[in-house]
Amino acid sequence: GEVSATPEPNESEYLSPVSIGGQTLNLDFDTGSADLWVFSTSLSSSSIGQHAAFDPSKSSTWEDYPGASWQIMYGDGSGASGTVGFDVVEIGGATASRQAVEIATKVSSSFVSDENNDGLLGLGFSKINTIEPQPQKTFFESILPKLDQPVFTADLEDDAAGTYEFGRIDTTKYTGTLHVTPVDSSNGFWEFASTAYSIGGTTYQNSGASTAIADTGTSLLLVDDNVAQAFYAQVQGSQLSRTAGGYVYPCSAQVPDFGVQIGSSGFIATIPGSDITFAEVGQGTCFGGVQGNGGGGIQIFGDVLLKQYFAVFNGGNESFGIAAK
């Protein structure tokens, strides 16, 4: 079957309505993790705030997973933990009849204050699912056998709503070639080779990092620190600001186009310089959407890059593809 879910755009995330045991929550679809967790009525009312909170006691299809627990920490330092059960999860028409659902009993402050999302839906590989004593499948892995094609696509936009589709590739959503690269899922991510980059149309070899992950749950484009330094050397007035947490520059600065290689085939995915500014941080200073990865070795290609393209995640042959749109 084919399904689609239309996430509501928000500056730092893409949310999609998900039905769990008949209760609808807005979840942040995250290809960089593999836990499906939700705000729950087990949280304090001050943590719940304006969020939708899942109440297992009100679901007729809920099944506890006795003794199981989970605890996750994300790259931005946010985190959550809690207990586990199984329920019917439906997204735009596709249904996983017995999906592991992680009930949050603790969430970090950034989730409390981000009133747009009521939890996360991980679309990474279940080898990094944090459920103890036994990791559980992601929603995509649960429905994979039933899909016409073993794929999901992400068509993220900045201003309009983006769309995730499961089970089909809507060829009307992109133009030209779909550039496909093999994925190495051994770290649990949609990870591929990326050993080159371009600044203002000139291509350079990236000696610092050799791979990258496609991560819809990360807002920025986090490249090898040397690559970020080389990029901002070409942005007049830029500086690495500890207070801002990265490279900033005068909002009036001329920002060159920036590209990163997708796979070892040579395709460089480019972002127009005019789309690189992520936020204004006041006094006419802007925070760049391209930042260093802090020396992590793996580059993290988040929404700053992904929103420029139509992305295809293939769980059948473990590949990642992007095309212009």
Under the binding rule (CB under 6 A), the answer on residue 108 touching ligand 47J is no
Cβ within 8 Å of residue 241, ≥6 positions away: 247, 248
Sign of CA dihedral 296, 129, 103, 23: positive
Q: Per rule CB under 6 A, is residue 246 in the interface with ligand 47J?
A: no
* Binding test (CB under 6 A) with ligand 47J, winner from 76, 115, 148, 170: 76
Strand 151-155 and strand 163-166: the pairing is antiparallel
Stretch that binds ligand 47J, among 27-35, 243-251, 253-261, 284-292 (CB under 6 A): 27-35
299 contacts ligand 47J (rule: CB under 6 A)? no
Least distance to ligand 47J, CB of residue 214, Å: 11
When asked if residue 217 is in the footprint of ligand 47J (CB under 6 A), the reply is yes
Q: Is the dihedral of CA 37, 38, 42, 46 positive or negative?
A: positive
Q: Which residue's CB is nearer to ligand 47J, number 73 or number 160?
A: 73
- Our answer to whether residue 30 is catalytic in this structure is yes
Q: Which of 30, 87, 224, 303 is catalytic?
A: 30
Among 87, 155, 215, 224, the one annotated catalytic: 215
> In angstroms, what is the minimal distance from the CB of 165 to ligand 47J?
20
Say which DSSP state 195 is in: -
Burial bucket for residue 172 (CB in 10 Å: 0-12, 13-18, 19+): exposed
**Separation between Cα atoms, residue 127 and residue 125, nearest integer Å:** 5
Q: Return the number of the residue (26 or 238) whose C-beta is nearest ligand 47J.
A: 26
Instruction: Give the containing element (helix H, strand E) for 137.
Output: none
Q: Which is nearer to ligand 47J, 32 or 162 (CB)?
A: 32
Residue whose CB is less far from ligand 47J, 85 or 188: 188
118 Cβ partners below 8 Å, 6+ apart?
25, 26, 27, 38, 39, 51, 52, 53, 54
- The residues binding ligand 47J (CB under 6 A) are 30, 32-33, 74-76, 78, 120, 215, 217-218
Catalytic residue list? 30, 215
